[in-house]
Amino acid sequence: MIVVVGSLNVDLVVPVERFPVAGETLLGGDYARHRGGKGANQAVAAARAGGTVRMLGRVGDDAFGAWLSAGLDADGVDHRGVVSLPDAPTGVAFISVDACAQNTIIVSPGANGRLGARDLAAHAFDGAGVVLLQLEVPLVASLRAAELAKAAGALVVLNLAPATTLDAEQLRHVDVLVVNESEAALLLGIDAADLADRPERAARDLTTLVPTAIVTLGASGSTWARRTTRTAEPAAGRVAGFPVTAVDTTAAGDAFVGALAAALDGGAPLEAALRSANAAGALAVTARGAQPSLPTAEAIEALVQESRS
């Protein structure tokens, strides 16, 4: 089973030809409302990829919160650990998507920001094989979840998004760290332009902080490194991406991480799990919206098999 501790948001998405500059007002197209939040996105992604998922988080006691919980229910996610708060609104993300399928996002955390370390009970992690974390809830909650997950014997996967700098002590309970190139650069204290030419080296460098590090590379796939005691150099590799036509990159990273968690929880070796994760991320960019774009296990497997033929 996969336990996801994280955010739940309503995404309000508006298409634009280009992003505005400071002080400018632009007219966009018709807005759309989608279920989102990195935590909920990854929970749904893992469930659609074949995982059994439990979600822990906070929403407001409002129409948005009820709508988000209904969405989790529809995808078979156990959301009894998602609590409605009467004194906070449900989180909202304001997203604009330009003509090149790139996006900008402003998040109003609302109830997500009220999730504290004391709100997490040890029994919520019973039976967990993988615990999946992100950073759209307070850091103290994510760190406490990692501690409880390790006590329960689970594999702890942290997606360092939104990006922040954490030290080895804060990462001591993390088994698998997933970052994109800019997040990796921030964590390592290097320029993102320098990392672009050496993502494999960045993954290796990150193993000084965590046992396994994965750096996602967008359309180019992903690279990984794993700490080893047999040699001075960590084991490492690269898994190719899948060529697709992108229409919206929203939640591509969440699709990747959710599918990765499902594959690891199912016992897949790391490189096989990364192939599934790369396929999920690729499929997600071919559809609009966050949760609406997250692919099923059947679609992921079909793309993986198609690439082998």
The full 3-state SS of the chain, as one line of letters, equals: CEEEECCCEEEEEEECCCCCCCCCCCCCCCCEEEEECHHHHHHHHHHHCCCCEEEEEEEECCHHHHHHHHHHHHCCCEEEEEEEECCCCCEEEEEEECCCCCEEEEEECHHHHHCCHHHCCHHHHCCCCEEEECCCCCHHHHHHHHHHHHHCCCEEEEECCCCCCCCCCCCCCCCEEEEEHHHHHHHHCCCHHHHHCCHHHHHHHHCCCCCEEEEECHHHCEEEEECCCCCCCCEEEEECCCCCCCCCCCCHHHHHHHHHHHHHHCCCCHHHHHHHHHHHHHHHCCCCCCHHHCCCHHHHHHHHHHHHC
The pLDDT value recorded for residue 128 is 98
Question: Tell me, what's the pLDDT at 250?
Answer: 80
% of the chain surpassing 90 pLDDT: 84
What number is the average pLDDT over the span 127-134? 98
Per residue in 56-77, pLDDT tens?
A: 999 999 999 999 999 999 999 9
**What CA–CA distance (Å, rounded) separates 189 from 168?**
14
The reported pLDDT for the residue numbered 194 is 76
Dihedrals phi, psi of 81, to nearest 5 degrees: -90, 5
Residue type, 166: L
Mean pLDDT of 149-178: 97
Measured from the Cβ of residue 110, the count of other Cβ atoms closer than 10 Å reads: 23
Query: Torsions phi, psi of 47, nearest 5?
Result: -65, -45
- Say yes or no to pLDDT of 233 above 70: no
Per-residue pLDDT band for 309 (boundaries 50, 70, 90) equals low
Q: Is the pLDDT of residue 199 over 90?
A: no
SS3 letters across 90-111: CEEEEEEECCCCCEEEEEECHH
Report the pLDDT value the prediction gives residue 139, as an integer from 0 to 100.
97
For tokens 């406490």, name the residue.
144
| pLDDT (0 to 100) of residue 78 | 98
Interaxial angle between packed helices 270-284 and 252-265, expressed in degrees from 0 to 180 and rounded to the nearest 10: 150
Name the band, by pLDDT with cuts 50, 70 and 90, for residue 163.
very high
Mean pLDDT for the chain?
94
pLDDT at residue 164 is higher than 90: yes
pTM for the structure as a whole: 0.92
- How far apart, in whole angstroms, are the C-alpha atoms of residue 26 and residue 85? 35
- The architecture CATH gives domain 2-18+31-308: 3-Layer(aba) Sandwich (3.40)
Q: What is the pLDDT of residue 192?
A: 79
> What is the predicted pLDDT for the residue at 197?
74
Contact by Cβ (8 Å): 277, 256: yes
Start-to-end Cα distance in the chain: 32
Residue predicted with more confidence, 214 or 95: 214
Average pLDDT (104-116) is 93
- Convert the pLDDT of each residue in 283-302 to its tens digit: 999 998 788 899 999 999 99
* Chain centre distance of CA 71: 18
Average pLDDT over residues 180-195: 88
Residues recognised as catalytic: 254
pLDDT per residue over 247-280, tens digit each? Answer: 888 889 999 999 999 999 999 999 999 999 999 9
